[in-house]
């Protein structure tokens, strides 16, 4: 209870401070009441959603929207507060100047300037509108990103071989069947040779995938569909009544993946074969730093793989590549990961800028990277979690074409 009281007090103070800009900018009372109403609705709904029936770290769809709306209001207030605080510093200095150097020798704060409040409101409307757009449209704004990677030792028969990667489905967050059907069709339109899914099929429990498994079973790839588990797939964020229930949940998720048509690799490997040429496809369980499960076992996964084989590794968390894979005795030509979602928020202009706050947490957070002659692609994710939207970092379908360097 105390934490909610503290939260409401801070929220109220910040909201009241931001409200001053609105009062300065306009005398239209209904706008004042609208602001107050939206602010109250956002915080009341948030407190209700996160204090009633909340178990473990499970976030329902209604909870995620409550968080999203509150985040939008707080972003609006924060920009206004930064703007107003900067103006208040100038007003305070002007008041000091008047007291010590003016004729009246009194400390008088100059009035707020209306045009500055209008500018502040305009700037604050940008993140507010962007976050609302991200919830309404951005979360299903699927993008196909295509890359071509060349290797000296790619087997000849695999020159031009095309891979589609998806990651972080998070089916428990979906709320639009038609948009998901569109995305599945978009994946199939790529007509890739193989489809690789790099983990986090659900948010928390296997049942979240039940309404969507028929749609996902329509995914096509002539050389097969392969998958690995992500940190959310294990059910670690649910307060289970027993270990047996948790294990049964994971078993059910594995069965659902099988029904969809995925060959789930649990520290295991397969070979993609073309005549006498082959590629080793290696899949490990989740391995991540920062408190995440470390079940991935490269040695076990490559028990049937030769050191000189051309290798593609599926590992959900890119921190695995950074801390374990690139320094391993085996050379993993290409690693496919996800996990970061690109934080679902950032700025990307191809060829110009790629930025998200997630870069302060993960060194490799979105797109293609190369270290020690080895590549990784960090997929930005198919779905969304927590904030029920995306701004600037759109849901991704990755298409990678392998090329023989001498033939490229």
Q: pLDDT digits over 50-68, tens only?
A: 887 555 567 889 999 999 9
Q: Backbone dihedral region of 175: left (phi > 0), alpha (psi from -120 to 50 degrees) or beta?
A: alpha
What does the block give as tokens for 394? Answer: 């759109």
The distance of Cα 220 from the centroid of its chain, to the nearest Å, equals: 25
Segment 124-172, tens digit of pLDDT: 899 999 999 999 999 999 999 999 999 999 999 999 999 999 999 999 9
Does the pLDDT at position 408 exceed 60?
A: no
Min mean pLDDT across 39-48, 102-111, 233-242, 314-323 is at 102-111
**Using an 8 Å Cβ cutoff, are 76 and 124 in contact?**
yes
Question: How high is the pLDDT of residue 406?
Answer: 76
Task: Count CB neighbours of 60 within 10 A.
Answer: 17
To the nearest whole number, what is the mean pLDDT of the chain? Answer: 91
Task: Report the C-alpha gap between 115 and 119 in whole angstroms.
Answer: 6
Residue 51 CB burial class (10 angstroms; 0-12, 13-18, ≥19): exposed
Per the DSSP assignment, residues forming a β-bridge with 349 are 353
Domain with CATH 3.60.21.10 in the chain: 141-404
Residue pair 228/314 in contact (Cβ under 8 Å)? The answer is yes
| CA distance linking residue 51 with residue 8, whole number of Å | 14
CATH 3.40.228.10 matches 141-404: no
Q: For residue 297, what are its two tokens?
A: 């076992």
Q: Tell me the C-alpha distance between 281 and 402, whole Å.
A: 14
Give the angle 69-72-76 at the CA atoms, nearest 5°: 145
Give per-residue burial for 215-244: e unless 16+ CB within 10 Å, then b.
bbeebbbebebbbbbbbbbbbbebebeeee
Model confidence pLDDT, tens digit, residues 100-113: 666 666 655 556 67
Per residue, the 3-state secondary structure of 279-292, as one string, reads EEEEECCCECCCCC
- 182: confidence class by pLDDT, cuts 50, 70, 90: very high
- What pLDDT score was predicted for residue 99? 65
How far lies 382's CA from each of 20, 234, 262, in Å? 41, 19, 16
Long-range contacts, 301-305 (Cβ 8 Å, 24+): 301/265, 301/267, 301/268, 301/269, 302/269, 302/330, 303/269, 304/269, 305/269, 305/280, 305/330
The answer, yes or no, to whether residue 178 has pLDDT greater than 90, is yes
pTM, to two decimals: 0.91
How far, in Å, are 59, 187, 238 from residue 51 at the CA level? Answer: 12, 39, 16
Q: What is the pLDDT of residue 192?
A: 98
């Amino acid at each position: 209870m105390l934490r909610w009281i503290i939260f409401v007090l801070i929220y109220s103070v910040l909201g009241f401070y931001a409200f001053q800009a609105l009062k300065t900018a306009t005398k239209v009372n209904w706008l004042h009441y609208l602001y107050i109403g939206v602010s109250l609705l956002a915080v009341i709904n948030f407190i209700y959603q996160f204090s009633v029936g909340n178990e473990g770290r499970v976030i329902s769809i209604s909870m995620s929207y409550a968080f999203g709306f509150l985040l939008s209001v707080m972003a609006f207030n924060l920009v206004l507060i930064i703007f107003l605080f900067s103006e208040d510093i100038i007003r305070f200095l002007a008041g000091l100047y008047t007291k010590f150097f003016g004729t009246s020798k009194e400390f008088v704060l100059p009035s707020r300037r209306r045009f500055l409040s209008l500018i502040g409101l305009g700037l604050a409307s940008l993140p507010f509108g962007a976050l609302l757009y991200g919830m309404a449209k951005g979360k299903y704004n699927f993008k196909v990103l295509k890359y071509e990677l060349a290797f000296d030792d790619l087997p000849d028969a695999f020159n031009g071989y095309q891979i589609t990667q998806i990651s972080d489905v998070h089916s428990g967050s979906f709320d639009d069947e038609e948009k998901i059907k569109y995305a599945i069709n978009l994946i199939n339109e790529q007509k890739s040779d193989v489809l690789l899914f790099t983990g986090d099929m659900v948010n928390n429990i296997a049942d979240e995938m039940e309404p969507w498994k028929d749609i996902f079973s329509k995914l096509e790839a002539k050389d097969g569909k392969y998958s690995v588990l992500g940190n959310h797939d294990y059910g670690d964020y649910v307060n289970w009544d027993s270990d047996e229930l948790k294990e049964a949940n994971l078993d059910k998720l594995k069965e659902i993946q099988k029904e969809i048509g995925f060959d789930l690799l649990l520290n295991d490997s397969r070979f993609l074969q073309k005549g006498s040429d082959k590629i080793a496809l290696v899949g490990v369980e989740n391995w991540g730093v920062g408190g995440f499960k470390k079940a991935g076992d490269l040695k076990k996964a490559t028990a049937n793989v030769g050191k000189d084989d051309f290798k593609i590794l599926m590992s959900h968390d890119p921190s695995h590549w950074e801390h374990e894979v690139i320094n391993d005795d085996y050379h993993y030509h290409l690693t496919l990961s996800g996990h970061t979602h690109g934080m679902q928020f950032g700025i990307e202009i191809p060829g110009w800028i790629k930025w998200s706050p997630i870069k302060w947490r993960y060194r490799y957070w979105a797109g293609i990277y190369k270290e020690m002659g080895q590549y990784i692609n960090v997929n930005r994710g198919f779905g969304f979690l927590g904030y029920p939207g995306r701004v600037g970092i759109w849901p991704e379908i990755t298409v990678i074409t392998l090329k023989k360097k001498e033939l490229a």
